[in-house]
Amino acid sequence: MNKLQIDTIPFLQSTISLFESPQPTSFHTIYYCLPSQFIKDLQDCISSYLSETPFMNSLSLPCPDSISSLYQEPLCISRRTVKSELVPGTDYCIISDALADNLRVLYKLYSSFKMPHLPKVGVLYFNGILTYEQDLPTYQIKLIGVGIDSTELAVKLSPYTTIAETINFILYKIHVQGQFGSIQMYSSTSTTPLNPNSFLRSANSQFFTLKFNRKRRAKTVALFQVPEPRFKTMKTHRIASPVLRELWSCEPEEEL
């Protein structure tokens, strides 16, 4: 019992400092954290459990190093650890597999002591506002122009996610590949494309349309005839890899 207490108490003390609110450093960073009450309840439960079960030797606690990642997990839409499938009609939060593993360990530990409720996972925005994942809004996004027209995706995202990041996230989830003249996102309240650097919250809507405009093929010309350029520039928007591209919401190239 003594050895178990010696191992457990320092662990709890070392984790308390890890659950203090961090200071975000960028606009596009979201930190996941657990509410402060969680660690207090956990400490009380363990102390009580140890006093009632002095010979309990099966207590398994995660190390402080693994828990520290709960406060160092940035919003990274193009990260490969994001689950690779997006099912229409299902809500998703952006959270890496590694972080989810740590949370599952804590939840298992939490429930093993028969606490009344599992803790909520906190989400701390760049401006210091703390909310919870279950309170994040769900955005309905309709896809047009990629062979799956009229498909609507329900995506749960922070309202402080930019339009560009949202498009990047969708492209990664549905594995879009091809050449497009433009990729633009519209809200249900406007007929003009959204600024890729604006936040979802600025659109004042939870219904969006993601439109893919295909690049038109050049017309066939007679032999030895010099064709006129169809576009002002030869730049095309090729989505060879749907992970990182700063091509969102580009204006369609006008014909001469």
Q: So where are the chain's domains?
A: 2-75+97-134, 138-216+231-239
Strands 207-214 and 138-144: parallel
* Residues 199-208: tens digit of each pLDDT: 888 888 989 9
* Residues 195-249: tens digit of each pLDDT: 988 888 888 898 999 888 876 655 544 444 444 544 444 344 344 333 333 333 3
Q: Which residue has the higher pLDDT, 67 or 79?
A: 67
Sequence-ordered list of residues with C-beta below 8 angstroms from that of 203, at least 6 positions apart, any chain: 163, 187, 189, 190, 194
* Residues 142-189: tens digit of each pLDDT: 888 876 555 777 777 767 778 887 887 777 666 666 667 788 899 988
- Domain 138-216+231-239 annotated CATH 3.10.20.90: yes
Q: Which residue has the higher pLDDT, 188 or 89?
A: 188
Q: Is the torsion defined by CA of 3, 8, 9, 15 positive or negative?
A: positive
Is the entire prediction scored with pTM above 0.95? no
